Structure 1
């Protein structure tokens, strides 16, 4: 009976995999290979979500997640983060995300926090406190808003990408600053634009450049992260994206560091990760991870900037210093 209830819970809570189809979403199709990769990523996210929806305890889902191919496993952990956050936010929910992060998911903490943001997009606002209770890291908690932005741009593309809807004074996290939240949501929108554009650098750049110039730095940062973590672009295409980024290349580089570091921490580095990191931020995934860790470990001042924004700026400055040191 218990296993039957869990299977029913999985069917009720999990979206249909057709939701990941580029044709259903109305996204650009660059090539059959790129389409297959982007759709596989979406389907893998939903697979991870389904594991979390059905699992009795997080460790049970973890065993299934670890059997997935390395190239796409991180997206399944992201989906599981969403699934457990949804369950935490429902009546009689527990602390499943916290338990999840006590296991191997701690190596995917960036992705799990992003998954929590997906959950906020699907839950009523009065459930947000419970759903996001595990996102306590004062720096990384902002990644929840990246996930929220991605979800909105992915599922509400007309409003968030083509009509360029912008959040002002977003009511999360509690204690703010609410004025900064919109910027991180834009980083998630930029990450989604890589998918909306079918991993076509020209199409992605065209979409970003249609936004007000004040929003482009964060949008390009998100796209740089997606190009590095998700991939689906070859060397020439990455070069094109780098040229199109132009004055926003420092933001692209910072996003690329995030993407490379996330894969390195989880031991999921793939050839496309190394290629994108080398071209977009000029470092190896190992160096990107070291830079992210070192700059996050430093103390943060009580300025008007959030600790997350200070961290991002330190990464960008660190890249400049690294490149100066290279003969």
Structure 2
């Protein structure tokens, strides 16, 4: 059971839910249903954050996280990733992030690493978690989380002035690639900024320099598949709008599908997004992610994470060609 000190930590460290409302953020509202869904996602994220900060142990945090409805549980674990990293940064505290990943959180590790990036955006750099001690492949998702946070909370700087690309350096290696990973997070946030409206999101992406479009579409693809809030026709329009970046969009959606399959949180929308965006079944999209996951994680001009992303996109494109050939 959490202590009085844990409750105090929660009150002092947890951001207010009002920060995630569409009105406060100034995001596009497509319709009432999409607005309600996006705001509920924000609420669940903050609930997971509070659980990780308040709980007396990682096991207690896990018990609380497992009470969240299955379809939303990944967002709670994402918030818990942020909360655990913030908790570990406090004097005399530690082990919360490791404990979270060692338990049921291991099935939500994609989301937890994204949450760590949120903490990096809020903490002074000297309090950042030791990223060099984390998973060398999935640690790049922390930069995705950082990019999402910045676009979500600093929208004027990161979205409304798309010609500016803000510098970033970390100790995770391959610093030349860091802005690509940050852009993937910005792209994911654009799904929220655009209120799940594919036309608005496409317009937002096109405002950025062309060299950034592939990473932005990959992030938006992850969000459209994981967060949902969109119809089949809207997804098809989003795919069409992506043009030459169609398979970057599919790669992000495949990541989202694998994250839900691994965690056992597959919903109807997962199957829809896999079919429309990835051009295959949810099971096959997830399997592509697992089959292409690199074994060698050192060496090379680009991180293994980027090689993995490219291999997923190429394999999905290949499957699409095979499928089209079979239909002719």
Q: TM-score, normalised by structure 1?
A: 0.95
Q: Report the alpha carbon displacement of residue 2 of structure 1 after superposing the two structures with TM.
A: 6.8
1:237 aligns with 2:238: no
1:308 aligns with 2:305: yes
- 1:288 aligned partner: 285
- 1:166 aligned partner: 165
- 2:260 aligned partner: 263
Structure 2 alignment gaps of length 5 or more: none
Match runs of 1:7-86 below 5 Å: 7-86=7-86
Once the two structures are superposed, residues 189-245 of structure 1 have per-residue CA deviations (whole angstroms, 9 ceiling, x without a partner) of: 000000000000000010010000001110011000000000000011111111111
Aligned counterparts of 1:300 and 1:148: Cα–Cα separation in 2 = 22
> Of residues 121, 139, 142 in structure 2, which corresponds to 1:141?
139
Aligned counterparts of 1:48 and 1:179: Cα–Cα separation in 2 = 33
Check whether the contact 1:189–1:222 (CA below 8 A) recurs between aligned residues. Answer: yes
- 1:177 aligned partner: 174
Check whether the contact 1:153–1:161 (CA below 8 A) recurs between aligned residues. Answer: yes
Q: TM-score, normalised by structure 2?
A: 0.95
Aligned counterparts of 2:275 and 2:308: Cα–Cα separation in 1 = 21
Change (3 A) 1:62 1:212: same
Check whether the contact 2:132–2:171 (CA below 8 A) recurs between aligned residues. Answer: no
Structure 1 alignment gaps of length 5 or more: none
Change (3 A) 1:50 1:238: same
What secondary structure does 2:211 align onto? coil
Check whether the contact 2:144–2:186 (CA below 8 A) recurs between aligned residues. Answer: yes
